[in-house]
Chains A and B, each alone.
Chain A
Amino acid sequence: MRESRIYTPEAIEDESLPGLPGANDDPLKPWDKTTVVGARVPRIDGQDRVGGTAVYTRDISLPGMLHGVIVRSPHAHAMVKRIDVTAARAMPGVHAIVTTESPEAKIPWTLTARGAMSQLFDPHCRYEGEEVAAVAAETLPQAADAARAIVVEYETLPAIVDYAAAAKPDAPKVHAAGNLPSPPRTTQRGNVDAAFATAAAVVERTYHTSCELHTPLETHGSVAQWDSGDLKVWDSTQGVYAVRAGLAQALKLPISSVRVASPYMGGGFGSKLELGKYTVIAAVLARLTGRAVKCVLTREESLRCVGNRPANTITVKVAAGKDGRLLAIDADLVGASGAYPTGAVSGYLMLDLYTCPNVRVRESSVLINAGQARAFRAPGYPQAAWALEQAIDELAAKLGIDPVELRLKNVPTVSQSRNGLPYSSTGLADCLRKGAESFDWSASRTRAASKSHIKRGVGVAAGMWGYGGEPRATVIAKLYPDGSLNINSGAADIGTGTKTVFAQVAAEELGIAVDRVHIEHADTGTTQYAPGSGGSQTVLVNTPAVRSAVAAVKQSVLALAAAELKKDVNTLSVRDGAIVIAGETRTVPFAALRSLAQAQQVVGVGQRAPHPTDKVALPFAAHFAEVEVNTRTGEVRVVRYVAAQDSGRVMNPLTFENQVLGGVTMGIGFALTEQRIMDGPTGKLASGSWHDYKIPTAMDFPFAFTWVSVDPQDKDCNSTGAKGLGEPATIPAAAAIANAVHDAIGRRMTDAPITPAAVVSALATTGRR
């Protein structure tokens, strides 16, 4: 219920956590060479994923389980006047109904420093889809029938969904205090105004990006079950610990009485990092009925109620000297939070992507009568890149400098936002150079113009991700007498291959095969703390802890072996699941160690060490796109793509490539098709399905796709050398496509998505066909 901190500016504070007890003792140096880490290892849970046997929250069925259905406000802004549940209560199979009038309705929601802004069932409905009641019944159809039979009388109120209009003083108020919950935040360095006066070239433009919806294939949902006052919840979540903390607070339970598990989950993209109302509703209904209750959202509910990437309006002005060095960036970013406050913009790229002495960033978020925004794969960054990277493109043209060259002139070596600390590694220049080489950039740029109505163009954009992760994770490793290993970590595998990478790290450190490693994960009742799997932090935060736990196991098993074999421990090492004795050809398999059999298990505990205090470890990227624009229909197709990523060590090329594919695919949706459409007068969602809200399909992905890894061999970021990947793989994608469209048709497409209508309209004004 409290906004996940991963993406707020304050979250950067989380990076400087001192570390858990013992974590500072981590002496592990990065590997010099690896055999399992870095290999194309197929997923260790692949068989379950392709066999239909992986059990997702959606698939869980418990004895006596009831089904919960939520009644939601059909109005964008309304007050509940009366609720009549008489008919619904009498319907077959109905076990419990809770409404705005029930005691449970009062559970505080949207907690801020100034108190709760809402409650579980709030009679004041501030967006279409806000929860007003819920039913538990024997079957899902019965629950749905009963939910429809609940009569709710509303007094409708004026609603506002246009965030530019909502910022005006006479706009309908989403909350009594107004639609600007906090004053705009300005961050600056240098003297921006003076710098613009001396510049050789200045560009300025206003860009708009549309609201995007996460639409994970598995909708949000939970199953709740009580046992002797303890609550067990299966939740489709990226962060079991955040959900546990929220549940304990909402239901006034000791943390130790709440168990949250998410064994398999069907996608989140940031929308599943926090506790949802549906989880609390399932728990409340389960308590009232004494039965397990499953509450899973429909696709329509998921489109309205569980987050979005907010629409942004970004005005950016960039200046450079004749030599192409950036002199000043001035950016104003405004975004729509939805009905409750959350940061809706991020100007971090303006501050830190390029070396620039004078920067001013103004960030503001506006409330509207729509579902609250949530973190969405690199929150704020693709929007900021859309504006900044198009501006840099325009500036390059004005200066007569190649866009890749212009970017190379401004690659930073220090983090300007973090006291000028140096980066542990920055592969941005290499991403630009190697990406350009792979793309054949220069030749592609100068290709002769097409005479047909299909125009081709190429574009480049750069990006970085400004969150280094919460260095706080514990892992327990257990070696068994047969030489197999159990890794216990609370991290969720949201589909990125987390479990497989953990197994590779463990196998590497202990010298055993990957298939000897079993991963036990994402269950607060049985596994160890890990931060939410989001913000590109999962691998870089957790794998050093995995390695550290296994290193402790190795140390212990070597000590056991030394005593048993009567050897100096310093002469022993591990390889291929066995103890290797220096100077001897024989090896002793772990399974042959009598002392290990007697001990039954050897346990090692690993803690994530804090980040280095004198360096900043962040990932970078540069993307290159080629598009075809049909000037008759306005249709844009991405036909060729190169993504160059500096994410530190590539732990697994197979899953790494998949993350990049996914990031680029999402960028294609951002650039070309995805757009939440609200009806202005009613405030209702008009794009409430996948027919109307269009995400890319297999037809839209460019199969002329190449990814280039720029591994800077970072020895300082952490003990496994990995940096983040999920977000930087999507950040520059849409901007690269927009720049390619400009190259193709000579029009600067300021609004995302670039729809066929927008292209045709842009060409109609002063066309080049």
Chain B
Amino acid sequence: MTDRKKDPRDQQPVSRRGFLTTVSTSAAAAAVVGVAAPAAAAPAPRDDTGTVAIVLRVNGRRHRLLVEPRDRLISVLRERLGLTGAKPGCERGECGACTVLLDGVTRYSCMTLAVEAQEREITTIEGLAQGEEVSALQQAFIAEDGYQCGFCTPGQVMAAEGLLRTNTSPTVDAVRAAMSGNLCRCGAYGHIVKSVQQAAAARKTGGAK
């Protein structure tokens, strides 16, 4: 528990809350501080129904979509593309259950507008497995029982994936800080952190995905 004093931004190059600019970090709630998001992609053409034509690149596939400017990435992923792995736990940047990767960086998809995600490589939990074969990280969550009800789990796994892409041998404290933006009400944190550590070790030795 020593690194509560550390600035969690050290582990998080980009805010997961996207356009939120300030958020309290006191006490126990999610500890990822918001900073200004990079500017959104070039303006998309609007049609007269109020929708906007965009292209989303999700798990290596391109999807041409008409979306409302207010549509958030999470609802487009879930309701338009049928990718229900990202979970809406709060829909306002508090719990992390909707975490995805944008250009390899963890991001709350509930705090990201779909139009904002254009021209970015979006990776969801569905993009981690090869068919029915889960990744080494996912396998570690199974082996260490890194979940209980499982509703926060896709977000936890994506937060861990984001961490391990930037830090291949994180300390326990670095794992805890990186995972602190993902709430687990069942309280499986002990197992979640073990899962991430085990996965980090497995990636190093096995060169597994």
Contact = CB atoms under 8 A, between A and B. Distances in A.
Interface stretch (A227-235, A326-334, A464-472, A700-708): A700-708
B91 to A, nearest CB: 7
A691 interface: yes
A325 interface: no
B142 A47 contact: yes
Interface stretch (B38-46, B112-120, B121-129): B121-129
Contacts of B129: 51
Interface string B71-97: 000010011001111111111101101
B150 A266 contact: yes
Interface stretch (A16-24, A211-219, A381-389): A211-219
Q: Nearest 10 pairs between A and B by C-beta?
A: A52-B85, A665-B187, A266-B151, A495-B149, A52-B125, A49-B150, A495-B148, A662-B187, A46-B142, A690-B94
Given A697-B31, A703-B193, A266 B180 contact: no
A345 to B, nearest CB: 24
Given A217-B149, A218-B89, A665-B187, A61 B177 contact: no
Contacts of A696: 28, 187, 189
A264 interface: yes
Contacts of B132: 47
B13 interface: no
Contact of B142 (A50, A52, A219): A50
Contact of B187 (A49, A637, A664): A664
B85 A51 contact: yes
B203 interface: no
B157 interface: yes
Contacts of B86: 52
Given A655-B145, A703-B193, A217 B184 contact: yes
A672 B192 CA distance: 22
B143 A42 contact: yes
Contacts of A628: 1
Contacts of B148: 267, 495-497, 658, 662
A56 interface: yes
Interface string A633-673: 00001110000000000000011011001111110010011
B176 A52 contact: no
A690 B95 contact: yes
A269 interface: yes
Contact of A269 (B91, B185, B189): B185
Contacts of A703: 1, 172, 176, 190, 193
Given A216-B149, A695-B28, A299 B91 contact: yes
Which applies to chain B's interface (DSSP): helix, strand, loop or mixed? loop
Interface residues of B, number: 70
A35 interface: no
Contact of A267 (B172, B179, B185): B185
Given A42-B145, A141-B70, A655-B145, A699 B180 contact: yes
Interface in B160-209: 172, 175-177, 179-180, 182-193
Interface in A40-80: 42-43, 46-56, 58-59, 61
A694 B27 contact: yes
A298 interface: yes
A698 interface: yes
A217 B138 contact: no
Interface in A600-629: 628
A55 B192 CA distance: 21
B155 to A, nearest CB: 9
Contacts of A217: 87, 89, 95, 97, 149, 151-152, 183-186
A52 B126 contact: yes
Contacts of B152: 217, 266
Contacts of A637: 1, 4
B75 to A, nearest CB: 8
A691 B29 CA distance: 6
A48 B147 CA distance: 12
B125 to A, nearest CB: 4
A661 B188 contact: yes
19 contacts: A42-B142, A47-B132, A47-B142, A49-B141, A53-B85, A56-B87, A58-B88, A218-B149, A299-B90, A497-B145, A639-B1, A657-B190, A695-B28, A697-B31, A699-B4, A699-B28, A699-B31, A700-B189, A703-B193
B29 A694 contact: yes
Nearest to A267: B149
B181 to A, nearest CB: 8
Contacts of B186: 217, 267, 495, 658, 662
A698 B180 CA distance: 5
Given A52-B84, A662-B187, A697-B30, A298 B150 contact: no
Nearest to A691: B29
B27 A58 contact: no
A414 interface: no
Nearest to B90: A299
Contacts of B177: 699
B150 A54 contact: yes
Nearest to B195: A50
Best-buried of A49, A52, A140, A697 by chain B (most CB within 10 Å): A52
B43 to A, nearest CB: 22
Contacts of A663: 187
B55 interface: no
B1 to A, nearest CB: 5
B29 to A, nearest CB: 5
B138 A51 contact: yes
Contact of A689 (B78, B79, B94, B191): B94
A501 interface: no
B57 to A, nearest CB: 18
A673 B183 CA distance: 14
Contact of A690 (B3, B149, B175, B183): B183
- Select the residue from A217, A654, A690, A702 with max chain B CB neighbours within 10 A: A217
B197 to A, nearest CB: 10
Contact of A658 (B29, B83, B145): B145
A47 B134 contact: yes
B134 A51 contact: yes
Nearest to A690: B94
Contacts of A141: 68, 70
B23 interface: yes
Given A50-B139, A697-B183, A701-B189, 14 more contacts: A46-B142, A52-B124, A52-B126, A56-B151, A58-B87, A58-B151, A59-B84, A141-B70, A216-B185, A299-B92, A639-B1, A658-B188, A663-B187, A690-B95
A654 B152 CA distance: 19
B198 to A, nearest CB: 12
Contacts of B27: 673, 694, 756
A661 B189 contact: yes
A664 B145 CA distance: 17
A698 B183 CA distance: 8
A52 B175 CA distance: 22
A694 B183 CA distance: 10
B153 interface: yes
A593 interface: no
B154 interface: yes
A50 B92 contact: no
A349 interface: no
Contacts of B192: 698
A438 B40 CA distance: 55
Most buried by A among B75, B153, B175: B153
Contacts of B85: 51-53
A299 B128 CA distance: 28
Interface string A472-488: 00000000000000000
A328 B188 CA distance: 39
A320 interface: no
A258 to B, nearest CB: 25
Contacts of B180: 697-699
A265 interface: yes
A494 interface: yes
A729 B13 CA distance: 38
